[in-house]
Chain A
Amino acid sequence: MKAMILGAGKGTRVRPVTYTVPKPMISLAGKPVLEFIVEHLVAQGFSQIVINTSYMADTIEGYFRDGSRFGADIAYSFEGKLVDGELQGEAIGSAGGMKKVQDFSGFFDDTFAVLCGDAVIDVDLRAALEFHRSRGAVATIILKEVEPDEVSSYGIVQLGDDGRIERFQEKPTPEEAVSRVANTGIYLFEPEVFSFIPSGVEYDIGSQLFPALVAAGAPLYGIALPFTWLDIGNVRSWWDATRSVVSGELAGFKLPGRELRPGIFCGLNCSIDFDAVEIAPPVLIGGSVSVGAGARIIGPAVIGPGSVIEPGADISGCIIDSYTRVGGVATLEDKIIFGNRCISPDGVSIRIADHDIGWILGDAREQGPPNPVNETLQELANELRDKNGPQVLI
């Protein structure tokens, strides 16, 4: 069967992470979100996949290529143009992206799935397909109940008794919301839907196509299914999703590496003396990582491949990008170190280079000059440690 993955967005709500990678390529436990989606589609029988790309298109297309590595046939619908040797994206919206593919080749010739490229899911698409066909729907939205305080982040729907969608609300306040049933960005469509999408203009599925279908009295249905939905809508949700995956909460996903201690997974070629460090699970450590004596890593945490955790560093609840050097006096609590930035899940972000603190956080491949402040801090740490005993960290 055929499917389309929406991968053209700029991911503005996940900035600054998306300054470095496009949102679909943000990884959970070392694996891009889009790879989870492709694998799930293939497992569910949807192996002919078009991905629309725009922002940092090369990163996505270079990773998945023709899809054969994933058991899929993949083609790309690039939205933009090449100007002076540089790719420039041109947004045409989610429905506009579907229409562009259909106008180009008539690719969608039977029931097809459309998914957003920013959430890991394990939804039973076959069950959804059965529902979709039994209702004679032109479009079916896969829904999921969310917490009352989360409704303002989603499209909320009101369902009739037979699952027909009666009303749509885009990101309502908890007081205004007609239900807690949210649009998950996973859809099944019949090719007839294209008669409701104009050609050559920016057009959105949630805010334009679905209201148009409701207004026209077209058979638009929704089905709420229980499934895992790890949405990477913002930095906090990425952090939460990573913690969830590392904690083994994603059914069927095996963490990479070898489980050297319960809940502690390590890639190959790591230099870690487990008797000299404190590591509390769940922790995922990539290949070729070194962890110095006296360092402390408290999970859930991910240490990217090639990173150097210097002796004495204190890390808890962090996602650390590949080739990061964490200095010995560093304390990282609930932080994301990514793209030369230190990001807190609440959105506070600092560029490490701006603050001249490369001696705390830097690139593991770079040998920076020793910094006097670091030396003073080390001295102070040693003085206090001698005075107060080894249990005091500094």
Chain B
Amino acid sequence: MSVKVQHEAAITVITVAGRFDALMAKEFKNCIADLTDGHRTLIALDMAAVNFIDSSGLGSLVGALKGISKEKGEIRIAGLSPEVRTIFELTRLHRIFDIYENIETACASFG
């Protein structure tokens, strides 16, 4: 599995790894749907091991943000590689998402 979920008290840590393309986007969307159904909407997304993201991956992230925001939850992202960071910047996602250096600081930011 390229999408892993771990619960840490109120926060859910999702770890994605490898290519964040259409295949992983589908898995990620399902994962977010399960979490919102279960009312677990404080999410820290660890992307440190993602080496590639395309339009589908970006779309699933934006979709997740919309879905979680609707449930008054939050999603915070951690550990972008320079390439993925570049894509975030180009598409202005770096201004939409709260982005943290690593998953520890992302989790800690929930207080």
Contacts and interface: CB of A to CB of B under 8 A. Distances in A.
Interface of A: 314, 329-333, 335, 342, 344, 346, 348, 350, 354-357, 359-361, 371-373, 376-377, 380-381, 384, 393-394
A335 B96 CA distance: 20
A331 B56 contact: no
A355 B55 contact: yes
Contact of B92 (A331, A350, A361, A372): A331
Contact of A355 (B63, B87, B93): B87
A380 B90 contact: no
Given A342-B90, A360-B90, 20 more contacts: A314-B92, A330-B92, A331-B92, A331-B94, A332-B89, A335-B90, A350-B86, A355-B55, A356-B54, A359-B55, A373-B56, A373-B58, A373-B91, A376-B59, A376-B63, A380-B62, A380-B96, A381-B92, A393-B95, A394-B92
22 contacts: A329-B91, A330-B92, A331-B94, A332-B89, A335-B90, A342-B86, A344-B86, A348-B82, A348-B83, A348-B86, A350-B83, A354-B52, A356-B55, A360-B91, A361-B90, A373-B55, A373-B59, A376-B66, A377-B62, A377-B92, A393-B95, A394-B95
B86 A393 contact: no
Nearest to A373: B59
Interface in B31-79: 52-56, 58-59, 62-63, 65-66
Nearest to A376: B62
B91 to A, nearest CB: 6
Contact of B55 (A357, A384, A394): A357
Contacts of B53: 355
A371 B92 contact: no
A377 B58 CA distance: 10
Contacts of A348: 82-83, 86
B91 A377 contact: yes
Contacts of A330: 90-92
Nearest to B53: A355
A348 B51 CA distance: 13
Chain B facing A: main interface SS: helix
A329 B90 CA distance: 8
Nearest to B95: A394
B62 A373 contact: yes
Residue picked from A330, A333, A355, A361, most chain B C-beta under 10 Å: A355
A331 B95 contact: yes
10 tightest Cβ-Cβ pairs between the two chains A and B = A356-B55, A373-B59, A348-B82, A331-B92, A356-B54, A355-B54, A394-B92, A373-B55, A376-B62, A394-B95
Contacts of A356: 54-56
Nearest to B55: A356
Given A344-B86, A350-B86, A357-B87, A393 B92 contact: yes
Given A348-B83, A394-B96, A331 B89 contact: yes
Nearest to B22: A356
Given A331-B90, A360-B91, A394-B92, A371 B62 contact: no
Residue picked from B59, B87, B92, most chain A C-beta under 10 Å: B92
A40 B82 CA distance: 40
Residue picked from B63, B86, B94, most chain A C-beta under 10 Å: B86
A236 to B, nearest CB: 15
Nearest to A334: B89
Residue picked from A331, A344, A354, most chain B C-beta under 10 Å: A331
B52 to A, nearest CB: 8
Contacts of B82: 344, 346, 348
B58 A380 contact: no
Contacts of A393: 92, 95
Nearest to B90: A360
A377 B97 CA distance: 12
A314 B62 CA distance: 20
A380 B55 contact: no
